[in-house]
Amino acid sequence: MDTKQTVHITEDDERFHLAFEHAGIGIAVQDTDAENSCWLHVNRKLCGILGYSREELLKISVLDLLPRSGQDRNSLLEYYKQLLEKKQPHTARECRYIHKNGQIIWGRLTLSLANRRGRDSASIISIVEDITEQKKLELQVMYLAHYDNLTGLPNRAMFNERLNQTLALSKRNGWTTAVLFLGLDHFKFIADTRGHAVGDALLREITGRISASLRTEDMRARFGNDEFAIILANVGTAQDAAKVAQKLLEAVARPVVVSKEEMFLSASIGITLHPADGTDTDTLISNADVAMMRAKEQDKNSYQFYTAKMNARASEKLQLANQLHRALENDEFILHYQPKIALATGMVAGVEALLRWQRPGIGLTPPSEFIPLLEDTGLIGLVTDWIILTACRQAAAWRDAGLSDIRVAVNLSPRQFQKADAAQHLLTIVESSEVDPDLLEMEITESLLMRDPMDAARIVTALRTAGIHIALDDFGTGYSSLSYLSHFPMTSIKIDRSFIFDVIKNAQNAAITRTIIGLAHNLGMIAVAEGVETQEQVAFLTTHQCDQIQGYFFSKPLSAEDCGKFISATNRS
């Protein structure tokens, strides 16, 4: 009987031993009074997890398997203590070990007590699950959720968290804290034209410069594509925040070389101060954003402090944008037409169509007040389609009324040239109006041409080939090189009114005006002077053989009806 039982127990033992040894989880046994010392038994899995042979592992103190920081050791000792006091199994804890190869292993450790029959002392069983992979993923997710992949900067979520903490500290300590919102000027344009790899390289370079301009403890984050935000905790005065903003502007403005090309960037910065401009994260950030937009509008490469007035402006703008959406549907846009007089004959050679908005309850609104907003909201595309169609129909109407050869000019916004099928799109509208393209002129500015000269040249050539006339508007104010002009099949150049304005008194502007007229003629183009208001200006322009004149001297922009009358009166005589 005895022997039978012994055999039985031994078989059980063996089975348990096998289960222990081959368990898919790390298991170790140690004495309760030996928390500082070594494990007494370890299974194969645990050896694998920690990278040691069984013999090696049994000689190492358990605490020596932990990272050197006191934190891990204290946490484990605390766990042992709780176990021994409560004498019951405990919920698992995360615990870090050092693998034999020096790498950190994350384990999920469960300790339990096993009382051995017939003995006073119990054993401590450690169950160790290797969760290193899981932990790595977790950290990666944490990283992705809080950092921007491209620049390695914290993202918006992390920024908000930090700003919250900083504001709590600021309140307690009576600090002034500043939030800076930095947007790169024209960045989208650069990324679109130079490719996104160049855009990314620029962003990394700018990130480095921003960091170099700040103290290590100043929180910085990437918010959107080309937007960054910065917290200056306990900054002192507004003046100190301005100094940092200035430093940042200078850092961004230094030339950047990417793929051997030297590029120039600039930034606009909005600044809000806690507690003056807001006491919570959302208000401070959105007010800094509003101030940044203001800086962009006024003068790029500058900073602006937030003022309460700006918010009023921003909401006014939003309202205006909503009204503009409706304006197109409700036929609130109209065109006025300003005659252009041919100096050689004194007759009206053409007119320029100028957009007006009949705002309900407000009246006729000039384009300077809403065209930038049409451009910002992307509505300009639809509105320009309408302008072209209306202008073409007007040209046809005047032709049908017997007013011969009145060419109608429309102004194109840069947006029109940014579409892939820009030329085709414009031509389709012209064709649908069934007017002879020779009666249509499109005015474009130098800056529109210079954004992407190759592309612009293709579009302009396509329009010109179809018979449409092309005028270069506001000439002299942009930065195009004159040599470029010959690449574009333009039909006329309009001398900007800032030169005509004091052409009589200002010798330099007189020289510029003469030169532009000469240049136009050399390139086989017509020279048109804008903003002509006086008899003296007309005389000067006549002497220097300017071809056409546009300005209040002859006529202000007129309604279609009045303009028709003006043309028939002028061209009859």
Binding segment for ligand C2E among 117-125, 252-260, 350-358, 535-543 (CB under 6 A)? 350-358
Q: Residue type for 321, please?
A: A
Which of the choices Ca ion, ligand C2E, none does residue 557 contact, using the CB cut-off of 5 to 8 A by kind? ligand C2E
For the bound state, the minimum distance from the C-beta of residue 356 to ligand C2E, rounded and expressed in Å, comes to 7
- Cβ proximity to Ca ion: between 43 and 384 the closer is 384
The answer to the question of residue 332 lying near ligand C2E (CB under 6 A) is no
E strands, 437-523, are: 440-445, 469-475, 492-495
Verify binding: residue 240, ligand C2E, rule CB under 6 A: no
Q: If 0-12 CB within 10 Å is exposed, 13-18 middle and 19+ buried, where does residue 73 land?
A: middle
**Long-range Cβ contact pairs of 303-309 (< 8 A, separation 24 or more):** 303/180, 303/242, 303/245, 303/246, 303/249, 303/268, 303/269, 303/270, 303/271, 304/268, 304/269, 304/270, 304/271, 305/238, 305/242, 305/270, 305/271, 305/272, 305/273, 306/270, 306/271, 306/272, 306/273, 306/277
**Contact between 205 and ligand C2E per CB under 6 A:** no
Strand runs (DSSP E) across 376-496, as ranges? 407-411, 440-445, 469-475, 492-495
3-state helix, strand, coil in the chain (%, to 5): 50, 25, 25
Binders in 460-519 for ligand C2E, by CB under 6 A: 473-474, 497
Q: How far is the CB of 337 from Ca ion (least distance, A)?
A: 12
| CA distances to 30, 112, 497 from 120, in Å | 14, 16, 104
Pick what 533 binds: ligand C2E, Ca ion, none; C-beta below 5 to 8 Å, kind-dependent: ligand C2E
Residues 6+ apart with CB under 8 A from 473: 411, 443, 444, 445, 494
Of 205 and 474, CB closest to Ca ion: 474
Site stretch for ligand C2E (CB under 6 A), options 141-149, 166-174, 367-375, 508-516: 367-375
Rounded to the nearest 10°, the torsion over CA 132, 138, 139, 141 is: 150
557 binds ligand C2E (CB under 6 A): yes
Least CB distance to ligand C2E at residue 531 (A) = 4
State the nearest-atom distance from the C-beta of 495 to Ca ion, in Å: 9
| Closest-CA residue to 219 (of 307, 270, 154) | 154
| Nearest residue (CB) to Ca ion, 124 versus 353 | 353
Interface region with Ca ion, contact rule CB under 5 A, candidates 159-167, 423-431, 469-477, 560-568: 469-477
- Provide, rounded to whole angstroms, the least separation between the CB of residue 443 and Ca ion: 4
Contact 109, 79 (CB under 8 A): yes
286 contacts: CB under 8 Å, gap ≥ 6? none
CB of 536 to ligand C2E, least distance (A): 13
Residue closer to Ca ion by CB (options 203, 354) is: 354
For Ca ion, the binding residues in 374-433 under the rule CB under 5 A are: 411
Residue 93's SS3 state is strand
The residue type at 506:
N
Pairing of strands 227-232, 104-115: unpaired
Query: Using the rule CB under 5 A, is 148 a contact of Ca ion?
Result: no
| Residue 492 vs residues 348, 484, 500, 539, 548: alpha-carbon distances, Å | 16, 15, 17, 21, 10
Query: In the bound complex, what is the minimum distance in angstroms from residue 426's beta carbon to ligand C2E?
Result: 13
Contacts of 277 (CB under 8 A, 6+ apart): 283, 284, 287, 306
Supply the minimum distance, in Å, between the C-beta of residue 474 and Ca ion. 4
What's the distance, CA 338 to chain centroid? 39
User: Which member of 109, 127, 184, 387 binds ligand C2E (CB under 6 A)?
Assistant: 387
CB of 478 to ligand C2E, least distance (A): 13
Q: Which of 443, 546, 550, 554 binds Ca ion (CB under 5 A)?
A: 443
Answer yes or no whether residue 324 interacts with ligand C2E by CB under 6 A.
Answer: no
Determine contact, residues 423/379, Cβ cutoff 8 Å: no
CA gap 44, 220 in Å, rounded: 48
Nearer to ligand C2E, 27 or 379 (CB): 379
Q: Which is nearer to ligand C2E, 154 or 551 (CB)?
A: 551
User: Could you tell me the two tokens for 58?
Assistant: 């049994």
DSSP 153-174: -B-HHHHHHHHHHHHHHHHHHT
- In the complex with Ca ion, which residue's Cβ is closer, 289 or 530? 530
CB of 444 to ligand C2E, least distance (A): 10
Residue 129 touches which of ligand C2E, Ca ion, none (CB < 5 to 8 A by kind)?
A: none
Q: Any contact of residue 35 with Ca ion (CB under 5 A)?
A: no
Q: Contact region for ligand C2E (CB under 6 A) — 16-24, 82-90, 504-512, 525-533?
A: 525-533
Q: Is 523 helix (H, G, I), strand (E, B) or coil?
A: coil
CA distance 102 to 118: 41
Where does this chain touch ligand C2E (CB under 6 A) — which range of 75-83, 95-103, 262-270, 529-537? Answer: 529-537
Cβ–Cβ contacts within 10 Å for residue 300, how many?
15
- Kindly report whether the peptide bond that precedes residue 154 is cis, defined as omega within 30 degrees of 0: no
Residue 490 to residue 499: CA distance in whole angstroms:
21
Start-to-end CA span in the chain (Å): 140
Q: Which of residues 393-412 bind ligand C2E (CB under 6 A)?
A: 411
Using CB under 5 A as the binding rule, whether residue 474 contacts Ca ion is answered as: yes
Nearest CB to Ca ion, comparing residues 43 and 550:
550
* Residue selected from 16, 189, 264, 552 as contacting ligand C2E according to rule CB under 6 A: 552
Q: Which does 26 bind (CB under 5 to 8 A by kind): Ca ion, ligand C2E, none?
A: none
Q: Which string of x and - marks every residue 475-514 that binds Ca ion (by CB under 5 A)? A: ----------------------------------------
Q: Which partner in ligand C2E, Ca ion, none is near 437 (CB below 5 to 8 A by kind)? A: none
Q: Summarize as ranges the residues that interact with Ca ion (CB under 5 A).
A: 411, 443, 473-474, 530
Residues near ligand C2E (CB under 6 A): 338, 353-355, 366-368, 371, 387, 411, 413, 473-474, 497, 530-533, 551-552, 557
